[in-house]
Amino acid sequence: MTVYSSSANVSERASAAPSLAISTVIFALRPSESSGRPTLWLPLVRRIREPYKDLWALPGGPLTHVDSLQDAASRNLRETTGLTPSYLEQLYAFGGLHRSPTQRVVSIVYWALVQPTEAALADESENVKWFRADKVGDLAFDHNAIVEYALRRLRNKLAYGSVAYHFLGEYFTLAQVREVYEAVLDTRLDPANFRRQLKSTPEIEETGEYLQGGKHRPPRLYRFTGRPGLDPDNRSTP
């Protein structure tokens, strides 16, 4: 906590640096209650103090002096939700003057992907709850805008980059990859054409194994080889 000397006058105080916070938008796929198909969800935490007391908000906290930005995001993620992300990337720094009614706050926001297995055993409690990404309701601060932007970024990254695999485990079927695309982009894709595209990308490796236990013809399992990394300080699996 910053401590001002008693001689600090008003103007010195007013020009003090804005406080810095870290928040994270965490995405995971979970089966929809209705259709059972995977859909996009994110965890939110309930605010237990003013401002915006009792409203839902993105997990976050102040930046501690011992952590780099990414470490801070990673730590905060773990401490508030118990999750370990398979992907973590900086989203944007939000620094509008009136984001918080009480003080000037600059939030550096990260976005993360977690695998369904992780997401399934995530802490859910009175104050931590998962919401469908398209139905989060009214959030605290400017967090609705942040979630919206994170969704845009996720969709964009999915269409170009190689981020889809971080929703899945090490081995996956091509149909599972297609389901990720369908859930995130909210479209239906032709299975045959989609599979042709994936098979032409060199980073997807055929394994000799097949997914057993399904109701129909057992699909072949694949593996993703290749790193995402575009960020300047990306360590890809934080």
β-pair type (19-31, 105-113): parallel
Which part of the chain contacts DNA (CB under 7 A), choosing from 51-59, 134-142, 160-168, 196-204? 196-204
> x/- string (CB under 8 A) for a copy of itself, residues 81-100?
---------x-xxxxxx---
Please state at what angle helix 174-185 crosses helix 143-160, rounded to 10 degrees.
Answer: 140
Residue 188: partners with Cβ closer than 8 Å, 6 or more residues away: 182
Phi, psi angle pair for 61, to nearest 5°: 180, 180
DSSP for 192-230, please give it. HHHHHHHHHSTTEEEEEEE--S-SSSPPEEEEE-S----
Q: In the structure encoding, which two tokens stand for residue 178, read together?
A: 């297609």
3 forms part of the interface with a copy of itself (CB under 8 A): yes
102 forms part of the interface with a copy of itself (CB under 8 A): no
User: Least distance from C-beta 80 to DNA, angstroms?
Assistant: 36
**Residue with the two structure tokens 């399904």:** 214
Which part of the chain contacts DNA (CB under 7 A), choosing from 48-56, 75-83, 109-117, 168-176? 168-176
DSSP for 26-52, please give it. EEEEEE-TTT-SEEEEEEEEE--SSSS
Count Cα atoms within 13 angstroms, Cβ side, for 63: 18
Chosen from DNA, a copy of itself, none, partner binding at 100 (C-beta under 5 to 8 Å by type): none
Chosen from a copy of itself, DNA, none, partner binding at 235 (C-beta under 5 to 8 Å by type): none
37 forms part of the interface with DNA (CB under 7 A): no
Which part of the chain contacts DNA (CB under 7 A), choosing from 77-85, 119-127, 146-154, 194-202? 194-202
Chosen from a copy of itself, DNA, none, partner binding at 207 (C-beta under 5 to 8 Å by type): none
Q: Which of 170, 186, 203, 231 is in the footprint of a copy of itself by CB under 8 A?
A: 231
DSSP for 49-117, please give it. SSSSTTSEE-SEEEPPTTS-HHHHHHHHHHHHH----SEEEEEEEE--TTSSSSS-EEEEEEEEE--HH
Q: Which of 120, 145, 206, 210 is in the footprint of a copy of itself by CB under 8 A?
A: 145
Chosen from a copy of itself, DNA, none, partner binding at 233 (C-beta under 5 to 8 Å by type): a copy of itself
Map the footprint of DNA across residues 204-233, applying CB under 7 A: 210, 214-220
Q: Interface with a copy of itself by CB under 8 A: which residues?
A: 1-8, 12, 14-20, 62-69, 90, 92-97, 104, 106, 108, 145-146, 148-149, 152, 160, 230-233
